[in-house]
Structure formats: structure tokens, C-alpha cells
Amino acid sequence: MLADHTTLSQFLIEERRRFPEATGDFSALIIDVGLACKAIARRVSNGALGGALGAAGSINVQGEQQQKLDVIANELFVKANEWGGQLAGMASEEMDVPWAIPARYPRGKYLLLFDPLDGSSNIDVNAPVGSIFSILRAPNPGVEPRPEDFLQPGVKQVCAGYAIYGPSTMLVITVGTGVHGFTLDPVLGEFVLTHPRIKMPPTTQEFAINASNARFWEPAVKRYVDECLQGKPGPRGKDFNMRWIASLVADCHRILIRGGVFMYPRDTRDPGKPGKLRLMYEANPIAMIAEQAGGIATTGQDRIMEVKPTKLHQRIALIFGSREEVERIEAYHRDSSGRSYQTAKLEETTELFQAAK
């Protein structure tokens, strides 16, 4: 295997050689993140045999019921990354406040943000789940960061990635030079490069959205989905498939490999909330991966990577995927007619009826 493929360690060493001034801290940090993902993959694969299925009996800062594996995965991420001296601090979707590096360990020049187990509602039904992470530079290396030090826009990320725990475990990362996928070899215990330079197809006939929320969607999203559902006889002139796993990592991985568009838009169910997904732990790292693979990530109005965070657990709308489809959705959001989609449809129908008389 090693004769034919590059391991994650080899890949990172080769990347580091391009920067003679690099100290190796960045590579070491990614290796530690990979170690956490290996440990989580093992616990997930044990399923009911490991006694870790079901609810943990606690609520996280998001107001959501934690699963036992949420808690375990968070602890594995912390323990794998707190000791190495590369990090000034960590923040997790499952923790109220940033994790302070224990005083017995040195503090480094990076910040790590992570969702330790995305899609945990799928654990008990044995559907794919994953981990998502983002790496930033610490504004003040070597000292404990302030909460506001984490509030950097996505364009400041130096690395983003996710692990998907499915039929095989894969680690997908970008360090700003494209997107690369590594498959965990269970015999070697190493991540091996199997998907170099992943490029997202620019066109697609698949979309992913939670259709149960249709009554709350913005007009632009209603218009887009309605056109897709009309299929070949409709304005798009082709048939579409809808895919929805309810696991961001799983949906992202499918779209990255074969194209598609993912939509978790802002809706009218709770006008005070700008979206469902977390900017720092989910939207920013997924946006960096999407853009590095040739896709687009947006709120519908704004580029995700340029949004200035105001809170550590800030929520946001997220639409990403194949370039041509996301550009169409953005164009629908920019429509300045002032009419809702339903009103426009009614007027169009009336005009057609009158023309036929």
C-alpha cells in the first residue's frame, strides 16, 4: 500500500517543504486532528457493542439533546489536541465557552474549532456521521486566547476539513491548495491519499434540502426547488433528484464527489434566527472546502467566507455546491422585483389566461 499511495504524514511533509521557514507545528496539528478522527471512527464503528448509543441526558449550548457519542467525540478531540503545543485554544460546538489549554502544556499559534460529531441524530439508525474542523491563526500566539480571538471570518482559515464515518472512514482536507481525500487503511492505521485534487462538478441534477420546511422557505428557494421539481417539461429542461441524509458531512461528501447543491436556507419559522447551521463549526469549514473544489458557498445573499462573526455559536443560512446551480440561486435572491414568488406565479398565470382568451 505504501508503495502505491501517499500517507497523510507524507503529504503534509511534502507540503511543508514548499515553505522552508515552516516549523512543522501546522503539520503536527493536522496529524493530531487525524488521530482524534481515528479514535472517533473506532467508537462509531462499534455501534451498540460499545454501549455508546442513545441520549447522554444533557443539553448542549445549542439547546439540543446530546447523544452519548457527542460527548465522547468531544472529549477525544480535546484530549488528542490539547497537549502538543500547537494550539493556543480550542472551541467546540458542544462546549459553552472555549477550552483553555491546561497550564501544564505549552500554548501555540493556532486555534482549532470543531463539531466533534456532525449528524449525531443519525447514530442510532447507523447512517453516516462525521466530524468537521477549522484551523485559524491565533492573534496572540503563545497566550490564552480571548473569546473574540476566535471570531475571524472564513477567509482567515488556514485549514478546513471533515472526517466521514461510513462504509470506510475518510479524512478530507484543504490547506488552501485544493481539496484532498484520505481513506483510513484499517490494517496500517494510516490515512492514505486516495482522492487527490478533488473537483466538484460545475453542473448537477441533484439537490439536497429538508422539504418538510417548504412552507417556511424564502421566495428564491421556493422558486428554485419548484423549477427543479417540474423536471424536463419545466423551465430547467431536465429532471432532478432530491437527496437528503440530514448529516451535513454526508451530504457534503456526496456533493463534493459527484456534484449537487445543498440548501439549509433562512426561513420564516423564526424570523429572529438567521439560519440553522453554525457559522464557525460547520458553514466556514464546509465553505472553504467547497470553494477550493471549485464550488460556491453562500447565504443566498453573501459569500459565507466573508461573513464577520459576532458570536462563537452564531447560526447562519448555508447554500453550497456546484457552481452553476448556486449562481442561479444567488440570482433568484438578487431579484429586485419586490414581488414574492407566489405573487409572481399568480400574475404569470393570469397573464397566460388573458392571452389565451
Per-residue pLDDT of 163-184, as tens digits, reads: 999 999 999 999 999 999 999 9
Residue-level pLDDT at 52:
64
Residues 6+ away with beta carbon under 8 Å from 116: 40, 70, 73, 74, 76, 77, 92, 93, 94, 131
Higher-scoring residue by pLDDT: 259, 56: 259
The answer to whether residues 180 and 197 touch, using CB atoms and an 8 Å cutoff, is: yes
Higher-scoring residue by pLDDT: 15, 54: 15
Q: What are phi and psi of 27, to 5 degrees?
A: -60, -45
The answer to whether residues 111 and 136 touch, using CB atoms and an 8 Å cutoff, is: yes
Mean pLDDT confidence for 17-42: 92
Q: Above 70 in pLDDT, residue 53?
A: no
Q: 135-144, 277-286, 343-352: which range is least confident on average?
A: 343-352
Residue-level pLDDT at 120:
80
Q: What percent of the chain has pLDDT over 90?
A: 77
Q: Above 70 in pLDDT, residue 57?
A: no
Residue-level pLDDT at 63:
64
Question: How many other β-carbons are positioned within 10 Å of the β-carbon of residue 60?
Answer: 18
The single residue listed with the C-alpha cell 515552516 is 22
Helix (H, G, I), strand (E, B) or coil at 337: coil
d(CA 105, CA 87): 10
Higher-scoring residue by pLDDT: 62, 281: 281
The single residue listed with the C-alpha cell 424536463 is 232
Kindly state the cell numbers that stand for 178: 485544493
pTM over 0.75: yes
Question: What is the tens place of the pLDDT at every residue in 290-347?
Answer: 999 999 999 999 999 999 999 999 999 999 999 999 999 999 999 854 455 554 554 4
Largest Cα span, the chain: 83
Kindly state the cell numbers that stand for 136: 485559524
b (16+ CB within 10 A) / e for 197-224: ebebbbebebbbbeeebeeebbbbbbbb
- Comparing C-alpha atoms, which of 162, 166, 245 is closest to residue 206? 245
User: Which amino acid is it at 225?
Assistant: V
